Amino acid sequence: MKTFDPSTHKAKKRFGQNFLHDMGMINRIVSSIRVKEADNVIEIGPGLGAITKQILPVTKSINVIELDRDIIPKLKFNCDGLGELNILQTDALKVDYHQFAEKGGLRVVGNLPYNISTPILFHLFEYLDIIQDMHFMLQKEVVLRMAAEPGSKVYGRLSVMTQSVCDVRLLFLVPPESFTPAPKVDSAIVRLAPRLTPLDIHDQPLFNAIVTEAFGQRRKTLRNVWRKRIEPETLESLDIKPTLRPENVSVDEFVKVANFLAANS
């Protein structure tokens, strides 16, 4: 089957386009997703269809979200005859994903533009009630931050916010030469699945606020970071040392502080 060679399509920097061309890596990614015929798959940023072409013959239909209207004819050409390709030409940040939920839990996949990957992730976290799992290609450093544990130099707001709602697993790395054009950074495939046992966060906006405050002053101790919110003695009563810095506070401990504040506001 004829396809458009990624080297013949000029990537647009404003869309953060890097097209996957390494068939060995493409097959490894698709194998890691383990897609089945009955799956309700949503792909964000299909580009020229490197992943789409592998999934579509299995699922028989797929919904894709693509912002670049100029690439859509090439995507259609590459996927012609493989199944039902439903294209939503829009910004993934503006999509209400509930519209895709009729066929069951969503399986979201995508090679996310690295410049807006975090906003897209946070947007998708609002739809975890209808999401089965997510597999994304992201900048390696972003995935390491998502999966980091307390005490790590890269443990931060993204780590806490992601792990508070999802189980995070870095599957494998993808080198720059797997893409056209080659990015200047290594990439990684990450699997995100909604937590089997959701955390009991009583006030989500408050939780978001205290996490953001903490990592906005990550070199300060909790005593100083939250001095207007909670007394050091109260932190001690919650079995949290006020001398800790935010990078040493677990997700569960952030939840404990947020729930105390919610109950005593």
Both 135 and 173 in one domain: the answer is yes
pLDDT in tens, 29-44: 999 999 999 999 999 9
Question: Of the ranges 60-64, 113-117, 192-196, 232-236, which one carries the lowest mean pLDDT score?
Answer: 113-117
Both 110 and 211 in one domain: the answer is no
Write down which residue in 142, 164, 194 finishes a domain.
194
Sheet containing 84-88, strands listed edge to edge, beginning at the edge strand earlier in sequence: 84-88, 61-65, 40-44, 106-111, 131-139, 187-194, 166-174
Both 83 and 214 in one domain: the answer is no
How far is the C-alpha of 31 from the C-alpha of 127, rounded, in Å?
25
Is residue 18 assigned to a domain? yes
222-233 average pLDDT score: 95
Is residue 122 assigned to a domain? yes
Confidence of residue 12 (pLDDT cuts 50, 70, 90): very low
pLDDT in tens, 143-199: 999 999 999 999 999 999 999 999 999 999 999 999 887 878 899 999 999 999 999
Is residue 46 assigned to a domain? yes
Both 21 and 141 in one domain: the answer is yes
For residue 111, the domain's CATH number is 3.40.50.150
Both 219 and 160 in one domain: the answer is no
Q: Quick one: pLDDT at residue 18?
A: 76
Both 125 and 215 in one domain: the answer is no
Angle at 237 between CA 235 and CA 243, to 5 degrees: 35
Both 131 and 21 in one domain: the answer is yes
Both 178 and 209 in one domain: the answer is no
Both 137 and 244 in one domain: the answer is no
Range(s) of the domain holding residue 256: 204-263
217-233 average pLDDT score: 95
Say whether pLDDT at 2 is over 80: no
Is residue 199 assigned to a domain? no
Our count of domains for the chain comes to 2
Say whether pLDDT at 234 is over 90: yes
Nearest to 192 by CA among 113, 96, 120, 95: 120
91 with 67: CB under 8 angstroms? yes
Say whether pLDDT at 15 is over 50: no
How far is the C-alpha of 53 from the C-alpha of 62, rounded, in Å?
10
For residue 213, the domain's CATH number is 1.10.8.100
